[in-house]
A and B are shown apart, each in its own frame.
Chain A
Amino acid sequence: MKTIDGRGLEPPKPFELVMEGIADLESGDSIKLLLDRMPWPLFRVLDRDGYRHNETIREDGVVEIEITAP
């Protein structure tokens, strides 16, 4: 699974990288996103476009999000 590391990037760069990343996904394929915080605005766009997403907060505070194409 492809991983996008958005940590340490100034907004909206991580958002843009995710949008470019998910544009190439086949139905059912997933990508992983690593961030320093919960990206609430991104979830809205993912929900609007029918992508599924699961979030976990790792022990080191990094937010790990798995995004799956509809």
Chain B
Amino acid sequence: MMPAGAALGYDATPPISAPLRYFLTAPFFGMLAGLLLLISPDVLVSRWTPGALALTHLATLGFMVMVMVGALFQILPVVCGAAIPMAGRIALAVHLLLVGGTVALATGLYKMSPPILTVAAALLGMALSVFLLSAMIGLSKVGSGTGSQRDVRLALIGLGVAALLGLSLALTRAQGLPLPMFSMLQLHLGWALLGGAGLLLAATSWIVVPMFQITPSYPRAMIRFWALSCTGALTLWSISVLLEWKILSLILLGLIVALTALFLFTTLVVIGKTRRSHPDASYRLFRLGIWSLIAGLVCLLSTLVSDAPMLRILAGVLIIYGGFVSVIEAMLYKIVPFLAWLHLTQSGIKAPNVRQLQPEDGTRNQLRIHTVALVILLMAVLLGNDWLTRLAGAAIVIEFGWLFFNMHGVLSAYRKTRTDSPARRYSSAA
């Protein structure tokens, strides 16, 4: 029988504009990040330069969180059977606040301006509070569930904790609050990358990887326990960091790294069993992302035995740009054409094939440009060469421009089909 609460879910699928406005804005933040590298290549000298902080947040908040929030407007009803109330209006409001907040935060960090950082904290605080509250209301109407349903909740909590820590850090910078900066920074990084982005990647991977990459499911024990174990380990690690229990925090950090490695290697095994005879570009982009996350993890571990500042910058590039950006782009090229197809079909319109909505050539070129840009950026960090950094910046601008062009192309095809086709029942047209 149909699970309780299911009717609430699919009756309220959000308009296609809800996720798409985020997906179409995110590439502009990617382009801004590329532009920053192009005009200020010295930002990579240290991860603490104002430029590096601005660059990191353009990539993480402007691209990663922007896409993740947009995707959640669709993931919650499609994957979890939960609907965000008034999704269209909430999506618009959160989008405006998030765009304004990210621009203000990047500007405030770049200029080290307390008033702008205060404005950023206010806008981002409102954006994430409204979004997280609405998502939790939507999820409260469906059963607790296991796997993706529960893990999306955990990821939302992780995102909330990361946001609170980030806002506190911004206010500490802006208003001089007496908070332990370094400890909070460590916690902010841990919760943002693993508690928020990592858990959301896992929660969506349980469903999206077998669905779109045609693979077997992840092991059941992993779906059941991995996210819970991560959240538990992160919580205990956070307590040990705040109480300055150094040995315990090191042991727990080891556990967190082991859990992350377990997810990444299991993902490689799972996608290695794809039933596709010829892996498509989205598959290869996703695989590149997972390998890059593994390489980033190795760099992070190396920082325990080496003080070389380059290692931390390499880790950041590999985890954020090589890892998360790759897997997000891979998923976008699957999800956006599928969404366009779904919304057309649900409107009673015979939709074109998803390959017509997003031709494979577009994804293949995305993979090529992204790989080239990643290699140049890694070389720029390794060699400390400003001209290579500029070149990487230019490649990144082209990469995100290409992403926008393709995502906009799907939207145009969607609009054209709607305009050209009088509404008719799919079944009668089949």
Which A positions have Cβ atoms within 8 angstroms of B?
8-12, 15-16, 19-20, 22-23, 36-38, 40-41, 43-45, 47-49, 53-56, 61
> Assuming A19-B427, A49-B427, A54-B1, is B10 touching A41 (CB within 8 A)?
yes
Give the chain B neighbours of A47 by CB distance below 8 A: 10-11
Taking A38-B81, A55-B1 as contacts, is the C-beta distance between A45 and B211 under 8 angstroms?
A: no
Indicate whether A19 sits within 8 Å of B430 (C-beta atoms), given known contacts A56-B1, A61-B217: yes
Q: For residues 50 through 79 of chain B, which have their beta carbon under 8 Å from a beta carbon of chain A?
A: 77-79
Is the CB–CB distance between A40 and B6 below 8 Å? yes
- 22 residue pairs of the A-B complex, CB under 8 angstroms, read A8-B214, A9-B214, A10-B214, A11-B338, A12-B338, A12-B341, A12-B342, A16-B430, A20-B430, A22-B427, A23-B427, A23-B428, A37-B211, A38-B6, A40-B81, A41-B10, A41-B13, A43-B6, A45-B345, A45-B426, A55-B3, A61-B220
* CB contacts between A and B, total, < 8 Å: 71
Interface core residue of B13, B77, B345, B425 (most chain A CB under 10 Å): B345
B305 within 8 A of A: no
Residues B9 and A40 in contact, CB atoms below 8 Å apart: yes
B interface residue numbers (CB < 8 A to A): 1-3, 6, 9-11, 13, 77-79, 81, 207, 210-212, 214, 217, 220, 275, 338, 341-342, 345-346, 348, 354, 425-428, 430
Shortest C-beta distance, A25 to chain B (Å), equals 9
Q: Which of B11, B345, B348 contacts A15 (CB 8 A)?
A: B345
Whether B210 lies near A36 (C-beta < 8 A) is yes
Q: Which residue of A lies closest to B80 (CB)?
A: A40
